[in-house]
Amino acid sequence: MKQPYVVPSTARRDLLIGLSVGVALVALLVFALMNLGNSVAGTTLQGTIVAKHFTPQKEEQVTFGSRGVHARQIDGEYVLECDVKGRLYLVTVEKELYEARKIGDTFYFARPQE
């Protein structure tokens, strides 16, 4: 019968190296999770609302998801016209946000693809 291989006991140095590598990995993971929601520089713009536009288009929007089929009524398209350093952007928003903002307010929005 074959004798089992006996691993020599680990030294304190090996234990400290293993613990420090583990702590470093956990710290890196925590740092990554905390910064996951931060926006990348340059992806958002800040502008001043110069006009508000509403285009009536009564429609029903149907979405399919893991919780089943959802339908909602949409009155139309709500658009805020924002001035960013002399350049105008048309930003489509939800009804609640459209009603909450007024002309002259500062508005943050995602940079559109060019």
Single pTM value for the model? 0.56
Tell me phi and psi for residue 30, to 5 degrees. Answer: -65, -45
- pLDDT (tens digit, 9 = 90+) per residue, 17-27? 999 999 999 99
CATH of domain 44-110: 2.40.50
Which helix H or strand E contains 34, and what residues bound it? helix 12-34
Write down the pLDDT at residue 108. Answer: 92
